[in-house]
Amino acid sequence: MRVSVFGATGSIGESTFDLLSRRADIQAVALTGGRNVARLAAQARALRAEIAVTAHEDCYGALKEALAGSGIEVAAGTGALIDAAARPADWVMSAIVGAAGLAPGFRALAQGATLALANKESLVTAGPLLMAEAARHGARILPVDSEHSAVFQALAGEDIAQVERVIITASGGPFREWSKARLAQATLAQAMTHPNWAMGQRITIDSASLFNKALELIETREYFGFEPSQIEAVVHPQSIIHALVGFRDGALMAHMGPPDMRHAIGYALNWPERAELPVARLDLAQIATLSFEAPDPDRFPALRLAREVMDIRGHAGAAFNAAKEIALDAFIAGQIGFLGMAELVERTVDSLLSDGGLQDPVTALETVEAMNHMARKRAQALVARMG
């Protein structure tokens, strides 16, 4: 099986590497990373990859040096990432963080590869385009986000037309019980302590603000095609149930598992088979209690904003995601407060909506990228005014 991993040096990338390392039938094609050149080179050597690619041209020399004598090709830059995605592969992991993950995943579909999609931003920004590209080339997209993998698994063998609703769960993050006044003072260090999952910095903060869940609501709509009114999010602090699918007869099928992304990654790697995976088995008696609560839209406005984005459709997802990425950068840089992130995203989307054009249907990668660019500039201008 020929396999490429985009974002190999990240949290999902490392979990993927762990699973690939355990298999003898894997031929690694392309492994890509960003600035963590030493780790990328180590992975490429361990898996004997054909090529290692860093997204940053200024990292080329360091990567070349780290792979000297290995016979592994080296390349750098965003163009090189796309070229690497064009290399024939059976299975491609899309685990770059942010909108930067869209173009390589899109290119991988054009060569008919199965795209294991962790990069939720691809579906949020360009869902209709991505799904159409997969259909056009007979390629398959398999969800890797744990909630979407859970829905996918609960739907196996079912008629999707019989689905009444889908419920994705949210841990509620470290601030689940915080008052709004306290949230206004939340620090970066506090936002980076997720109660259940070990993940990359950006998604961890997005989990604290529920922006991660907002992206996932949109992702659910784009991937499965459900109406927004059919998709719900519920806070479930134990993170044992990842999603539930409700059918017309009232049955609710829940997917449970430990908070270990190697389950969803492994499911996508082995699909349509199941294979033994090195994940902990749940001890239900020890867990004892599963609890659920409704998310609070006042303290966590991200879910409301996601619903507005789903109503607007068109390029609203691209604008929402871009504004969210700038808001996150600004929070990390200490330019805005924790609650300022939602305010910035809302103001950016509202201002682009009043310009017109946001609702135009997504028909080309270029228009998505143009909206991404415009929303970033708009959000950056607002940061300057908010700061």
Q: Which residues bind ligand NDP (CB under 6 A)?
A: 7-13, 33-36, 55, 95-97, 100-101, 118-121, 145, 197, 199-203, 261
Minimum distance of ligand NDP from residue 294's CB (angstroms)? 23
Q: Which is nearer to ligand NDP, 77 or 357 (CB)?
A: 77
Minimum distance of ligand NDP from residue 30's CB (angstroms)? 12
Q: Which is nearer to ligand NDP, 159 or 324 (CB)?
A: 324
- Furthest CA-CA distance within the chain: 62
68 Cβ contact list (under 8 Å, min separation 6): none
Minimum distance of ligand NDP from residue 360's CB (angstroms)? 25
Minimum distance of ligand NDP from residue 367's CB (angstroms)? 20
Q: Which is nearer to ligand NDP, 34 or 112 (CB)?
A: 34
Neighbours of 128 (CB within 10 A): 16
Is residue 40 within 8 Å of residue 32, measured between CB atoms? yes
Backbone angles phi, psi at 128, to 5 degrees: -60, -35
Instruction: Single out the residue of 262, 354, 285, 277 nearest to residue 316, CA to CA.
Output: 354
Q: Which is nearer to ligand NDP, 138 or 242 (CB)?
A: 242
Which residue's C-beta sits nearest to ligand NDP? 10
Q: Which is nearer to ligand NDP, 198 or 364 (CB)?
A: 198
Minimum distance of ligand NDP from residue 343's CB (angstroms)? 22
Instruction: Single out the residue of 175, 169, 210, 170 nearest to residue 189, CA to CA.
Output: 175
Minimum distance of ligand NDP from residue 101's CB (angstroms)? 6
318 Cβ contact list (under 8 Å, min separation 6): 99, 124, 125, 126, 362, 368, 371, 372, 375
Q: Measured between alpha carbons, how far is residue 6 from residues 53, 54, 103, 232 in Å?
A: 9, 10, 11, 30
Q: Which is nearer to ligand NDP, 60 or 197 (CB)?
A: 197
